[in-house]
Each structure stands twice: as C-alpha cells, then as structure tokens.
Amino acid sequence: MSKSLKTARRGGDVASAVADGAGTGAVSRRADRAAERRAAIVQAAMDEFIARGFAATRLDDIAKRAGVAKGTIYLHFKDKESMFEELIRTAIVPFVGRLAVPPPLGGSVRDMVESLARMFLQEIAGTRRADLVRLIIAEGPRFPAIADFYYREVVSRGLAAMRALIQLAVTRGEIREPKLVQHPQLMIAPMMVAVIWKSLFERHAPLDAEAMLQTHLDLIFGARRPT
C-alpha cells in the first residue's frame, strides 16, 4: 500500500538544479516540478491544519492555497488522514537529530541547558512551530499514531537527554536536588508553558520567556552570585 510518493529521484542528476537566476523561475525537469508542488501542498496543508485543526480543514482550501487542483493532492497523499499524519511526522523529524545531547563539553551544565532552552524558545516558541506543538496536543488523542510517534521520537528522547544532563549536574554539584533526576519534566515545564502561552494568551499579556527561563534556572542551579 501507500506507494503514492512520487518524489523519489530517478537516475543521478540531481544537478538540474533550480538555478532560477532571474526570470520566470520556470522549472523544466518533471520530477522537480512535482517535488515543488508537493512542497507547496505540504506548506499549505500545514498552514491550514494549524489554523483550523484537522476536522475543520478543507482539502479545497489546501489546494487553492497551494495553487493546485484538488486531484493533485491525491497524487501525493492517500487521503486526508494520512496526509495529516505524514505532515506532522515530516515537520518533527528535523528536530529529532538535535536531541542527542552534544558531548558534555567543557562549560557548565547550566550553560548547556541554557543554550538548549534558548534555542528552543527561539526556534519553537517564537515561531509558527509553537502552533504545531499545540496542534499535536490538540489532535493527539484522536490520532494515537501521532501521539505515539511524538512520544517516541521527541518526548522520550528529549527527557532522556535532559535526565542525563541533570545527572551530570548533580554529580558535579551544580544541582543540589538529586530527586530532579527522576523528574526531568520539571526542567522542561516552563518551555511548554511558554509555547502554550504564546499561542493562547500572548495578546492578553505578553510573556518574557527569556526572563522566566533565567528565573527558572536560578531556582534549579541556584542564583548566580552577583560576581
């Protein structure tokens, strides 16, 4: 089943690239054009799903937004549901790689956690991706496959990495509270709150996530001494 993904590059020449110097930007290679359209569909679908949720999203709208006929969508995806699932997966995968904790280099654990959290705030909480997280929270229960995938690929890995960091910090004496190793969720909780807050309440009361993060880290690692 589910062959339908035509994107597989044939032969070798990936090189007919999208020089796309000046003018029309017309793409010749058939496969390229197809890939381009697929990308447009994915983008459009993402926007629509985020804006309306799964059930309320119309394929007609996705098609229109992607500048494509509805039938074209079905050349790339089996149906609405598998499109949705594949979409989420595709969007998540790029982040999975970074979850392997970078080798505990020289600096303090706090610095490492801080830079990780900063990255998260900038690349997720501050962007449309925050809505993606919200979408997963929203649709998860109705798409167990997605919840499972998300748990396996993101949550469990992320928590494992975080636990390792906490363990290290406890060993080094950077963190006093050893029980924290059992609850790596506590380290991440403020990030989750930030994501949700941005999606729902930002216009009521803007949240200074960076400042909150500092306070959070001070609680866990102890306040930095004022030099």
Residues 174 to 213 in contact with a second copy, rule: CB under 8 A:
176-177, 179-180, 182-183, 185-186, 188-190, 192-193, 196-197, 199-201, 204-205, 207, 211-212
CB 140 within 8 A of CB 146: yes
161: contact with a second copy by CB under 8 A: no
Q: Which does 183 bind (CB under 5 to 8 A by kind): a second copy, DNA, none?
A: a second copy
Q: Near DNA by CB under 7 A, which window of 65-73, 95-103, 130-138, 201-209?
A: 65-73
* Size of interface with DNA, in residues (CB under 7 A): 22
Choice between 75 and 160, CB closer to a second copy? 160
Distance, in Å, from the CA atom of 205 to the CA atom of 192, rounded to the nearest integer, reads 17
The neighbour count for residue 2, using CB atoms within 10 Å, is 8
Instruction: Draw the binding track, 2-41, toward DNA (x: CB under 7 A; -: no contact).
Output: ----x-------------------x-xxx--xx--x----
Query: Tokens 């020289």 label which residue?
Result: 106
Which amino acid appears at position 151 of this protein? Answer: Y
- As measured in angstroms, the least distance from the Cβ of 147 to DNA is 20
Distance, in Å, from the CA atom of 47 to the CA atom of 165, rounded to the nearest integer, reads 35
Which amino acid appears at position 220 of this protein? Answer: I
CB 190 within 8 A of CB 210: no
The neighbour count for residue 45, using CB atoms within 10 Å, is 24
Residues 108 to 137 in contact with DNA, rule: CB under 7 A:
none
155: contact with a second copy by CB under 8 A: yes
